[in-house]
A and B are shown apart, each in its own frame.
Chain A
Amino acid sequence: MKDLSDAFIIASKDILTEIRNREVLSSVVVFAVLVIIIFNFAFGSSERAAGLVAPGILWATFAFAGILAFNRSFVMEKEEDCIEGLMTAPISREAIYLGKFFGNTFFILLVQLIVIPVFSLLFNINFFNLELLAITILATLGFSSTGTLFAAMAVNTRARELVLPILFFPIVSPVIIGAVNASALVLEGQSFAAINQWIGILVAFDAIFIVASYLIFSFIIEE
């Protein structure tokens, strides 16, 4: 329980920092919209094409945007040696992971809150329903659980911008496949029954990697 309350303190610190300087959110949103526009150039914008490729574009965009946000969350700690401060504080390493994980999840959800309406508008698709909300939350938890772990690792290497995507993309491939297919089914007008297999994969991924990352995180930041 103490871990959890410590984690919320760390997450609120990250959110407060973000409110003060608005560094990450604005640039990640701009980046995400740019990626969507590039995809639109790549696949054309006819209504038929849009319906087919929209879920793919959306999740590829969030995977790319996630990379930026996750990297930033640890670069920020590393730059002024803040991570040293966190490690000497009387909190467990697991709490640091949870705090960063909560913060990152919150940021990605916030980015989605802005980007999805823009996306709906540009592609003329209605993205607002309960099933898509569930898919979005589950996929985001999957992205940020592994993204947070790997960002902590990448920041300790000589080429952090390179290492994070190389680790992140292969590992989150089940999330991307699951989220894309589930969203496509929902957009076709299917209900929960049709997508529950995909929801199952997303839930399994989240459960496995939140627990595994939680347990393994302390080995990454030990020195």
Chain B
Amino acid sequence: MLQGGFMKRKILFALSSVLILLSFYMVLVYVPTEKNMGIVQRIFYYHVPLAWVAFLAFFVVFICSIMYLVKRNQKWDYIAHASAEIGLVFISLMLVTGSIWAKPAWGVWWIWEPRLTTSLILWFIYVAYFIVRGYISGEERKARFGAVVGIIGFLNVPLVFLSVTLWRTQHPPLTIFSGGLEPSMLLTLLVCLFAFNFLYFYLLAEGAMMKEDEYNINLLKDKFARRNN
């Protein structure tokens, strides 16, 4: 049901490849070095899109999980599951790039700042999503329990953010780009944002299709296992 759309995936792949190559050029060559933070600030052109896509991916998990529980169409679980995978990869990369930036900028790899803490807890919630699915037998139940974690996990995000913000109010607000963004920097950031968005949708299309194949193969396996017994 998700098969087909071959052309669409080809176009998404081409677009994201071109934009990511362009982003390499823009981040490494085109954009001027920020004067306060120096060369390390360039990581932010990847860090911000990674964060954005991770949250977008988890939002997609949330919506598709609701749709799955309402409609009971396996299609929604393929999308939710694939999106959770991409989201987890992106949020991990975001935590890593953030740490690489934090070490020279703040002198430490990690601080318990609201955004960092929220991202870390989010990371754990979606790791739990995969652990739970891994310990369940039966494709339909996997989808159902996955959807429950996808919904409850996302509902938790604003509360986690609110509580860690209150908890760490003494920390000064972080300004990544103090005093607005230089047009060339904004342009670079936008190119990176578009690149990662297209990459996300491309990976989602491919991932959801793979989940469908996986599901069908597992059904066949179950069928043969039962016949042989």
Contacts and interface: CB of A to CB of B under 8 A. Distances in A.
Interface of A: 146, 149, 153, 156-159, 162-163, 166-167, 169-171, 173-174, 177-178, 181, 197-198, 201, 204-205, 208-209, 212-213, 216, 219-220, 222-223
Nearest to B66: A216
A171 B163 contact: no
A141 to B, nearest CB: 14
Interface residues of B, number: 29
A157 B152 contact: no
B159 A219 contact: no
Interface stretch (B52-60, B121-129, B175-183, B202-210): B121-129
Interface of B: 69, 121, 124-125, 127-128, 131-132, 135-137, 141, 144-145, 147-149, 151-153, 155-156, 159-160, 162-164, 166-167
A164 B160 CA distance: 19
Provide the main secondary structure of the chain A interface: helix
Given A163-B132, A170-B124, A171-B125, A201 B152 contact: no
B166 A198 contact: yes
Contacts, number: 85
Contacts of B155: 208-209, 212
B132 A204 contact: no
Contact of A220 (B137, B144, B153): B144
B135 A205 contact: no
Provide the main secondary structure of the chain B interface: helix
Contacts of A173: 121, 160, 163
Contacts of B160: 173-174
B186 to A, nearest CB: 34
Given A173-B121, A181-B166, A181-B167, 19 more contacts: A146-B152, A153-B145, A156-B136, A157-B135, A158-B135, A163-B131, A166-B127, A167-B149, A171-B125, A171-B152, A174-B159, A177-B163, A177-B164, A197-B166, A209-B155, A212-B155, A216-B152, A219-B147, A220-B148
B118 to A, nearest CB: 9
A171 to B, nearest CB: 5
Contacts of A209: 152, 155
Nearest to B123: A170
Contacts of A208: 155, 159
B131 A219 contact: no
B69 A171 contact: no
Nearest to A160: B135
